[in-house]
Amino acid sequence: MAEKLGLRFQGRVWKFGDNISTDLMMPGHLYSRMLPWEEIAKHSMAANRPGWAEQVRRGDIIIARRNFGCGSSRPAPRILKALGITVVVAESMSRLFFRNAVNVGFPVLICAGAYDAFEEGDVAEVDAETGQVRNLTRGTAFQGEALAPDTPPYEILKAGGLDTYLKDVIARMKKGTWRPA
Amino acid sequence: MGMTIAEKILADHSGRATVKPGEYVWCSVDGTALLGHSPLLKRLETLGVERLFDPDRIYAVEDHMAPPPTLEVANAMVDLRRLVKKYGVTHFFEYGRHGILHELFPHHGYISPGDLIVSIDSHSTSYGCFNVASTPVNEEMLFVVVTGQIWLRVPETIRFNITGKLPGPEEFVVGKDVILRIAGEYGTECAIYRSVEFHGPAVHQMSMSSRFTMANMSVELGAKFGIFPCDDKTLAYLEGKMRRPSRPVAPDPDASYESVHSIDVTGMPPYVARPHDPGNSVPVMDVEADRVKIDQAYIGSCTNARMEDFRMAARIIKGRKVHPDVRLIATPASQDIWQQCLREGIWELFAEAGVLVTSSTCGACAGMHMGVLGDGEVCVSSTNRNFLGRMGSPKASVYLANPATVAASAVTGYITDPRKFL
Ligand code: SF4
């Protein structure tokens, strides 16, 4: 599939295992203070991996194993985005995390087999549209699930996120031309 | 080819005769809810939104931190009340008349069998116990309240046939134990992106409260929906409350399931999930053998803080004292339940035993307030998630159990089989 959305990223890899919950990404005890995303981001993964958030650099990539983003519906993709993570690759992912990610224009990719093929610190090239994952350090490649064109998640990612997509829908609703496909 | 319950409800709400797993459909939603700590007002104003899709199908409350523990939450509530007035949202629950969203929603008749509900908060799967396709979103609340529409990928369906006879609340084995057992046997990702249907004789024998717990924790299996059939108990619960006609949905006899599992619950024991995953569940006797000493016992949350739960706990607490090294916190799922416990004398016997009773909130369940755990503490909890750091300190440990197990453990000081107190 020809790439149209510009969702190809290259970056240093951080590995996370199974069942990385949104509670870990965005700790509940900070909720009562309703801090800005950037502030909460400083505490991301503090429970399972203290000090990690400080080491993340803009452009880094997460490769996780199973059930990534399980648990609460809280807007955790915003936190990873605020840290500068460009894309998450996982063997399986919670549907809530997937939807929240798409809606904030944060690409994610489901790809079997990638996890074991990376060491932390390897450089990955990930195309969240075509589903290709390459380990540039080791010269291996994997095919994940491509983003199906003309589906709502495709259109929302194309718009760069839900707010822009909705702006267009509202304009069309006012003209009476919006019909859900 | 016949359709499953989820397929029928999605076909019905997308104006199609049939749908198939994997298809993307746009659906009209029957209802949704707003929570104070996920503010939308500024985003609605920035987008210049003048009206919401149907102010009579949108409900607003703040449950996670009620009443506000901080200035920031208090200000978020100022915004929520402004949103309610500005957009004419008809149903707003002020503190004192409030509760945890998932408890309020069906109790006030905002749910009818056959509905499609899309709402904030991951445990929006709860309404599935009323024969409803109900699923959580978060970022998309903005889209839903403006358009009343949602895109959904039609899920594959997994069917669980629950057979035999569940011991029931009389013997301290309830829906919580069944869903913990399923999480243990099938894993916490067994139903990612799937609709789960629960059928079988034991399902019809279960109380609505037990079914609620199972639909609620379907999200702990990764499920998009957790749906029960509609029967006399469903209709009896909803009788006189519903705002829309009931349209019960049964699967076609030739519906196609991705997989079908059978679980015999005859004589099964209470289950407990060890830290830090709901799937680490084992019969309570295994944990009892470890003599796990506890600091906090918690009966609360949308999962298990209803009358069936407090009545079970009260049978154990009555005439006994909470162990000197333990604090037992009771946080009912709604103020209506708070009142009912008052009427039944449950609060009085709790107070005599040294139980701390709070007003309704999510509170400790999500580590937000009124029972946050400190470093090294151990908690046995009637909630749904024992993730690392969930209830406070990342150095704390949480065991999930049914409310009878929580009460029994609070009395003895370590995680205990409640059947000892029968
Ligand atoms: S009680 Fe716990 S699980 Fe239920 S809605 Fe509140 S925070 Fe979520």
The model's pLDDT over A90-133, given as tens digits with 9 standing for 90+, comes to 999 999 999 999 999 999 999 999 999 999 999 999 999 999 99
Indicate whether B400 belongs to any domain: yes
* A113 CA → ligand 1 middle, Å: 34
Query: Is the pLDDT score of B21 beyond 60?
Result: yes
CATH number for the domain harbouring residue B309: 3.30.499.10
**CATH number of the domain that A98 lies in?**
3.20.19.10
Taking the model in full, what pTM does it have? 0.97
Determine the 3-state secondary structure of B367 from DSSP: coil
Q: Is residue A169 part of a domain?
A: no
Residue A46 Cα to chain centre, angstroms? 19
Reply yes or no on whether the pLDDT at B359 is more than 70.
Answer: yes
Q: How many helices (H) and strands (E) does chain B have?
A: 14, 18
Domain that holds residue A73: 8-146
Give residue B416's domain range: 271-421
Judge whether B306 and B337 are in contact, CB under 8 Å: yes
| Beta strands at B133-137 and B195-199: parallel, antiparallel or unpaired | unpaired
Flag whether B396 is in a domain: yes
Please provide the average confidence, as pLDDT, over all residues in chain B.
97
| Total residue count of chain A as it appears in this document | 181
Q: Is residue A57 part of a domain?
A: yes
For residue B67, whether the previous peptide bond is cis, meaning omega lies within 30 degrees of 0, is yes
Is A71 among the domain residues? yes
Give domain status of residue A177, yes or no. Answer: no
Compute and round to an integer the Cα radius of gyration of chain A.
17
pLDDT at A3: 63
Residue A173, in any domain of the structure: no
The minimum CA-CA distance between A62 and chain B, rounded to whole Å, is 20
On whether residue A93 sits in a domain, the answer given is yes
Q: Determine the pLDDT at residue A166.
A: 95
Chain A interface test: which of B139, B149, B221, B362 (most A C-beta within 10 Å): B139
Residue B389 CA: distances (Å) to CA of A41, B164, B278, B319: 16, 37, 14, 34
Q: What's the gap between Cα B212 and its chain centre?
A: 6
What percentage of residues in chain A have a pLDDT greater than 90? Answer: 91
Q: How large is the ipTM?
A: 0.95
| Residue A176, in any domain of the structure | no
Distance from the Cα of B75 to chain A's closest Cα (Å) equals 10
| Cα dihedral across residues B338, A72, B373, B297: positive or negative | positive
Which residues contact residue A24 at a Cβ distance below 8 angstroms, ignoring those fewer than 6 apart? A44, A45, A47, A48, B387, B388, B389
Cross-chain Cβ contact B277/A66 below 8 Å: no
Tally DSSP H helices, then E strands, for chain A: 7, 7
Whether B342 is covered by a domain: the verdict is yes
pLDDT reported for residue A2: 55
Instruction: Count how many domains chain B has.
Output: 1
**How many folded domains does chain A comprise?**
1
**In terms of DSSP bridges, do strands A132-135 and A123-127 run parallel, antiparallel, or are they unpaired?**
antiparallel
The answer to whether residue B365 is domain-embedded is: yes
| Interface contact A112, partner B, CB < 8 A | no
Report cis status (omega within 30 of 0) of the bond before B91. no
B41: pLDDT strictly greater than 60 = yes
User: Do residues B183 and B281 lie in contact, with contact meaning Cβ atoms separated by under 8 Å?
Assistant: yes
Question: Cβ atoms within 10 A of the Cβ of B290, count?
Answer: 11
Single-letter amino acid code for the residue at B292: V
Q: Do B188 and A19 touch (CB under 8 A)?
A: yes
Pocket of ligand 1 from Cβ distances under 6 Å:
B 63-64, 100, 102, 121, 123, 301-302, 362, 365-366, 383-384
CA neighbours closer than 13 Å in the CB half-sphere of residue B254: 2
Query: Is A76 part of a structural domain of the chain?
Result: yes
Q: How far apart are CA A89 and CA B142, in angstroms?
A: 27
First to last CA, chain A: 23
